[in-house]
Amino acid sequence: MARAVTNNLKIINTIVAWGIGFLIFFPILWTILTSFKTEGMAIADPPVFLFFDWTMENYTEVQERSNYLRFLWNSIFIAGGSTILGILVAVPAAWSMAFVPSKRTKDILLWMLSTKMLPAVGVLYPIYLLFIQFGLLDSILGLTLVLMLINLPIIVWMLYTYFKEIPVAILEAARIDGASLKSEILYVLMPMAIPGIASTLLLNFILAWNEAFWTLNLTAAKAAPLTAFIASYSSPEGLFFAKLSAASTLAIAPVIVLGWFSQKQLVRGLTFGAVK
Amino acid sequence: MATQNSRSIARLMMAPAVIMLLGWMLVPLTMTLWFSFRKYLPLRGGDMGWVGFDNYVSFVSSSSFWPSVQTTLIIVGSVLVITVFLGILLAILLDQPMWGQGIVRILVISPFFVMPTVSALVWKNIFMDPVNGLLAHLWKFFGAVPIQWLSQESVKSIIMIVSWQWLPFATLILLTAVQSLDREQIEASEMDGAKPLQRFGYIVLPHLARAITIVVLIQTIFLLSIFAEIFVTTGGAFGTKTLSYLIFSRVLESQNIGLGSAGGIYAVILANIVAIFLMRIVGKNLGT
């Protein structure tokens, strides 16, 4: 009897949860479906859900019309470059704060966090001016640097919380067993640190990929990544639903898939270790 | 334990990150502060000297200031209420036994990974277009007159879009918190005869209090500076200028740097007030 009740409950839970999940995901699903329709089908009333003539023509047209690949490369370079640079700078910092903490470690961590809170719009003009001064406007290098700096606090924090979990006792044990500093780092610390570094890399790549204030304001034609490419579709001549959907699908598909793998790290990374 | 030597190495390892962030914070902020005290119109006469607090006064007394504060409060407040309320319900639902929980989680979390320009543009056209949008079709199907979403109900539309983007974040964090709830405590209260609502009010909600606070603070900081969602949909028209969008348009559209910088300083102060509360919680959690 009790068994039957819980099973019934489980069925209801499943139906309700799948229904809500579907509803939340629907705008993404609809965009993907629309990208395979003809322009006529895309605005058909009543809307067609699955039974239409699937076509790839929107994708080919988006590529031909807008040089999609260049925007994609810009996105990859900027998001990838800023993340890797950030990790290179942050690993030593997080490492030393986790393993050689001093009285000021906590203050430094909190201060780094506070730089993340700085509203971008408050420093827009100075950055704009500095970019013109140094010839960085509309350059991949400039955008990479800015995105590295705005994500650096998150990178340091994530790495710090991961490194903090590596037990110091293991290091001491290795040392007693006669491990040299080099083998200590290579065989004991690295294997334990790599998962943390990998998740940090993943989450920050996603954040940089989606960043849409600096990428819109500091680029024009040359260094514009996908965020800016999509924004260019907001002009009236771009009002073709199927092509808009194809461009959107191309821009979001890679990171949504990456995002699915980073759920756990997302919580840790964006709450600065306060919720685990 | 650490020797003098390892301490100085540690300091050296920290140096690049600290110096970079210090520069990133101090240089532009000092410039903004400097510009905020000057009459500076790059396209109409350039830097015309020191004006004291004039920019601060005119930013606040301009006719678009209070509407922008109001819009900001409405958008941030509504999105917070919607995402936290629905987030709690969803987190508790997702914590129940069911089939395919992992897949539902993936479906729910996905909107968070959609880049802001894409979600703004997709909602604006494919869903909210008054003629061909899916919502217009839906309204017509029920015999209603389609809504001119982004012109007549502009603020509500933006709240809808932004809530859709941030609900996954709230849900995921609250779900993590729900899952750390002590099962035995729940079972004990069940045996003592606590009703589901009592269990929720006396055990689950207090347990979630900290996570809710963190969600509210972090979202507030991000929501105060939403940009693409407004830039792409209305461009600040139809009463959708938030405080940060107003500053943006003062700086880049009207090229009044002094005025925009004064606004920027206000925004920095506002964000810091929120940040202080957030840092207190995070700092407490840090222990050491």
Ordered structural domains, chain B, with CATH: 65-240 (1.10.3720.10)
- Are residues B36 and B265 in contact, defined by beta-carbon separation less than 8 angstroms? yes
- Residue percentage of chain B with pLDDT more than 70: 98
- Partners of A266 on chain B (C-beta within 8 Å) are 109, 112, 169, 172
Q: What is the mean pLDDT of chain A?
A: 84
ipTM of the complex: 0.86
User: In terms of Cα–Cα distance, which of A55, A23, A22, A17 is closest to A39?
Assistant: A55
A239, pLDDT greater than 70: no
pLDDT value of position B132? 80
Give this prediction's pTM: 0.87
Mean pLDDT, all residues of chain B:
86
Separation of alpha carbons B164 and B141, rounded Å? 24
Chain B residues near residue A125 by CB distance under 8 angstroms: 31-32, 35, 251, 257, 260-261, 264
Q: What is the mean pLDDT of residues B117-134?
A: 86
Residue B20 has its nearest CB partner, among A21, A42, A89, at A89
Name, in order, each residue with C-beta under 8 angstroms of A83's C-beta and a sequence gap of 6 or more: A148, A151, A155, A201, A204, A205, A208
d(CA B97, CA B106): 16
Q: How far is residue B230's CA from residue B220's CA, in Å, rounded to a whole number?
A: 16
- State residue B48's pLDDT score: 77
Which of B7, B8, B9, B21 has the most A C-beta neighbours within 10 Å, making it the best mutation to test the interface with A? Answer: B21
User: Which amino acid, A96?
Assistant: S
Going by C-beta distance under 8 Å and a sequence separation of 6 or more, which residues neighbour residue B148?
B130
pLDDT in tens, B21-53: 999 989 999 999 999 998 888 777 777 788 888
pLDDT at B286 over 80: no
Count of C-beta atoms within a 10 Å radius of residue A113 = 19
> How far is Cα B243 from Cα B249, in angstroms, rounded to an integer?
10
Chain B residues whose beta carbon lies within 8 Å of the beta carbon of residue A82: none
Low-confidence winner among A206-210, B54-58, B102-106, B194-198 (lowest mean pLDDT): B194-198
Q: Find, among A160, A184, A168, the residue nearest to A98 by Cα.
A: A160
> At residue B81, does pLDDT exceed 90?
yes
In 3-state terms chain A splits into helix, strand, coil percentages (rounded to 5) of: 80, 0, 20
Which H or E run includes B255? none
- Residue A236's pLDDT is 59
Average pLDDT over every residue of A176-186: 78
Work out how many CB contacts closer than 8 A connect A with B: 302
Single out the residue of A78, A81, A96, A77 nearest to residue A159, CA to CA.
A96
Q: SS3 of B49, please?
A: strand
| Residue among B24, B100, B164 minimizing CB distance to A149 | B24
**CATH 1.10.3720.10 occupies which residues in chain A?**
65-270
- A82 or A258, which is more confident? A82
Report residue B288's pLDDT band, with 50, 70 and 90 as the boundaries.
very low
What's the one-letter identity of residue A178?
G
Instruction: Classify residue B110 by its DSSP letter.
Output: G
Q: Which of the residues B29, B33, B113, B161 would you substitute to probe the A interface, choosing the one with the greatest number of A C-beta atoms within 10 Å?
A: B113
Give the mean model confidence (pLDDT) for residues B79-89: 95
Task: Please give the distance of CA A130 from its chain centroid, rounded to a whole number.
Answer: 26
Kindly report the length of chain B. Answer: 288
Q: Which residue has the higher pLDDT, B120 or A175?
A: B120
Give the pLDDT mean for A186-199.
83
Tokens of A202: 């993943």
CATH of A65-270, one of 1.10.3720.10, 3.40.50.300, 1.10.1740.10, 3.40.50.2300: 1.10.3720.10
Substitution target from A116, A117, A250 for chain B, most B beta carbons within 10 A: A117
Question: How big is chain A by its Cα radius of gyration, in Å?
Answer: 24
**pLDDT tens string A128-159:** 889 989 988 888 899 999 999 999 998 998 89
pLDDT higher than threshold 70 for residue B3: no
Nearest to A121 by CA among B277, B242, B203: B242
Instruction: Tell me how many degrees the CA angle B212-B218-B222 measures, rounded to the nearest 5.
Output: 140
Q: Express each pLDDT in A23-57 by its tens digit.
A: 999 999 999 998 898 877 777 777 777 777 788 88
Of B99, B110, B173, the CB nearest to A14: B99
Over residues B145-185, the pLDDT tens digits come to 888 888 888 899 999 999 999 999 999 989 988 888 877 88
Highest-confidence segment of A40-49, A58-67, B239-248? B239-248
> In Å, how far is B154's CA from the nearest CA of chain A?
16
Residue A36 main-chain phi, psi, to 5 deg: -100, 5
